[in-house]
Amino acid sequence: MKFAKFAFVGLSTLVLATPVWAEIEVKDAYARSSGPMAQAGAAFMHIVNTSDQEDRLIGVRADVSKRTELHTHIDAGGGVMKMREVEDGFVIPAGGHHILKRGGDHVMFMGLVEPFEQDKTIPVTLIFEQAGEVVVEIPVDLDRQDSTGHGTMNHDGGHGSEHDNMKHSH
């Protein structure tokens, strides 16, 4: 009897110590860069929070680049968009979702260790306030078009809105 009681207590402790991330779902994720000589790349995805509590994506880690950050685009006026790090992260509402997309919020990879290769996967750790760390395997899709049919990347190694006048500042 003592062994069974010990096993039950140990199991319940293990479950409580494990982050509950089953309530965060990552859908339709993909990563891209502007080509074999690119120094930067990005990842986009649909993050769904099935819990009844708001969560926040507060960080990201990946070994594919020297720096990996959460970014967004800000209208600098005059048709120029600037990319900026978002230190506070992105809110994922309770029972809702947040989309990381080109020209908007996204994961930014700076100083790529090696070029992104079509159909390879990139392991990325998403860090949430409530759900903890969620590791996702993100496929590289260099050919994917955005919702407006644009598929080009910026010539300065950046990405996002596919307009030639896009400026990036890091």
Residue ranges and CATH numbers for the domains of the chain are 20-139 (2.60.40.1890)
**What is the dihedral sign for C-alpha 36, 147, 31, 120?**
negative
Label residue 22 by pLDDT band (50, 70, 90).
low
pTM over 0.85: no
Q: Is 63 exposed, middle or buried (0-12, 13-18, 19+ CB in 10 A)?
A: exposed
b vs e for 117-131, b when ≥16 Cβ sit within 10 Å of the residue's Cβ? eeeeebebebbbebb
Can you tell me the mean pLDDT for 11-26?
A: 56
Is the predicted pLDDT of residue 85 greater than 90, yes or no? yes
Is the predicted pLDDT of residue 113 greater than 60, yes or no? yes
Where on the phi/psi map is residue 54: left (φ > 0), alpha (ψ -120 to 50), or beta? beta
Over the chain, what is the mean pLDDT? Answer: 80
The per-residue pLDDT for 76 is 85
The per-residue pLDDT for 12 is 39
Residue with more model confidence, 126 or 167: 126
Label residue 15 by pLDDT band (50, 70, 90).
very low
Is the predicted pLDDT of residue 119 greater than 90, yes or no? yes
> In angstroms, how far is CA 7 from the centroid of its own chain?
38
Where on the phi/psi map is residue 147: left (φ > 0), alpha (ψ -120 to 50), or beta? alpha
Interatomic CA distance for residues 154 and 167, integer angstroms = 9
Residue with more model confidence, 154 or 39: 39
Can you tell me the mean pLDDT for 160-170?
A: 32
